[in-house]
Amino acid sequence: MAQGFGAKSTTDDVLSGVDLSGKRILVTGVSAGLGVETARALVAHGAQVIGAARNLAKARAVMAPVEAAARASGGSYELIELDLGSLASVRACADILMAQARLFDLIIANAGMMTAAHEVTCDGFEAQFGTNHLGHFLLINRLAPLVSPGGRVVSLASSSHYVSDIDLDDPNFEKPPYDPMTAYGRSKTANMLFAVEFDRRHRDRGVRATSVHPGGIKTGFQQHMRPGEFDEVIVQMNEELAAEGMPMFEFKSIPQGAATSVWAGVVAPAEMVGGRYCEDCHVSEFNDGLINAVIGGVRRYALDPERAKRLWTISEDLVGERF
């Protein structure tokens, strides 16, 4: 079941014939795009999905297809408030779920943000690092006791990890000059290193973690870039691809973009994806050359176990908790 899928596979393709009845799954960032489609696909196959969102009104406004899928399949869908840019909100969400004491078979850390300016969270962290990495770091570690043996954690990363490794001496990007795309790349590398270390810490009890790249998708994410910046990025990528004799970049649909998350979460063998980075419904190989990231592959630094351990300790210091 783990073979035969690729860049054009959709969530319905990879979940064809898969019964998720009785599976309990947490998906963050369910107010738009990939999060909504991920929840819909899982619910359509009988899963009990808890969708976390910062703006519950926005999430409720787009939940109709997920509810319809739940009615048709016998699955279920409910929402919970979660602002990953606030450690207090993260703790409140985790406390509610811990009090329910119901196990999870899968957590998909789908939520994320991109900004065109230097912003900080309410706790004073650089916004992209604080939201994309630290918020999920705190949430998933607090919920770790609820992830059942055989369960998984999927951390959404990006080919943007090619832009920059995480600066372990300045993870909060306090040294100028600030560059938003570099900060975003750092946060995505952090998402990947988190999965590496979480997998190492929990695999002996049968819980595995992986990171995934959904692919290039036109969602509301690009609204945070300066006008014209996204088009400039696409032009540059296509120029580099042409220089390598490669085909032009193609956008994915949202169902295609969400496919790798559900593939890595419930279809691929755990030992195949644990501690690895996945894209286009397969495990990526290392690509440390200068070739454009769109071609695929993963930078070695983003899966480095020693850097993952160091980032873990730094993250514990920043959130003020040990795990």
The confidence score (pLDDT) of residue 77 equals 98
The confidence score (pLDDT) of residue 198 equals 99
The confidence score (pLDDT) of residue 285 equals 94
> Which residues is 107 bridged to in the sheet?
26, 153
Reduced to 3 states, what is the DSSP secondary structure of residue 7?
coil
The confidence score (pLDDT) of residue 259 equals 98
> Where does residue 273 rank: exposed (0-12), middle (13-18), buried (19+ CB within 10 A)?
buried
Better pLDDT: 291 or 83: 83
Q: CATH classification of 11-216+253-317, choosing from 3.40.50.2300, 3.40.50.720, 3.30.70.1400, 3.30.300.30?
A: 3.40.50.720
8 A C-beta contact, residue 280 and residue 59? no
Give the ranges where 11-82 is alpha helix by DSSP (H). Answer: 11-14, 33-44, 56-61, 64-73
Mean per-residue pLDDT for 218-227? 58
Integer CA distances (angstroms), 63 to 90, 221, 267, in order: 22, 19, 24
Give the pTM: 0.92
Q: Does the bond joining 177 to the residue before it have cis omega, within 30 degrees of 0?
A: yes
Degrees (nearest 5) of the Cα angle 281, 209, 59?
A: 75
* b/e per residue 137-161 (b: at least 16 CB within 10 A): bbbbbbbbebbbeebbbbbbbbbbb
8 A C-beta contact, residue 293 and residue 162? yes
Range in 105-119, 162-176, 243-257, 261-275 with the lowest mean pLDDT: 243-257
Range in 2-11, 106-115, 145-154, 303-312 with the lowest mean pLDDT: 2-11
- Confidence grade of residue 250 (pLDDT, cut at 50, 70, 90): confident
For 74-93, write each residue's pLDDT tens digit. 999 999 999 999 999 999 99
Written as six digits, the tokens of 246 are 């490669």
The confidence score (pLDDT) of residue 230 equals 62
Q: Which residues have CB under 8 Å from 18's CB, separation 6+?
A: 1, 45, 266, 267
Degrees (nearest 5) of the Cα angle 151, 259, 90?
A: 55
Written as six digits, the tokens of 177 are 């000059």
The kind and range of the H/E element at 248 are none
Catalytic pick among 77, 184, 277, 301: 184
Better pLDDT: 243 or 49: 49
Degrees (nearest 5) of the Cα angle 131, 270, 209?
A: 20
Q: Catalytic site residue 77?
A: no
The confidence score (pLDDT) of residue 210 equals 98
For 91-135, write each residue's pLDDT tens digit. 999 999 999 999 999 999 999 999 889 999 999 999 999 999 999
- Confidence grade of residue 256 (pLDDT, cut at 50, 70, 90): very high
The confidence score (pLDDT) of residue 1 equals 42
156: left (phi over 0), alpha (psi -120 to 50) or beta: beta
Integer CA distances (angstroms), 229 to 45, 60, 232, 291, in order: 38, 31, 5, 21
The confidence score (pLDDT) of residue 234 equals 64
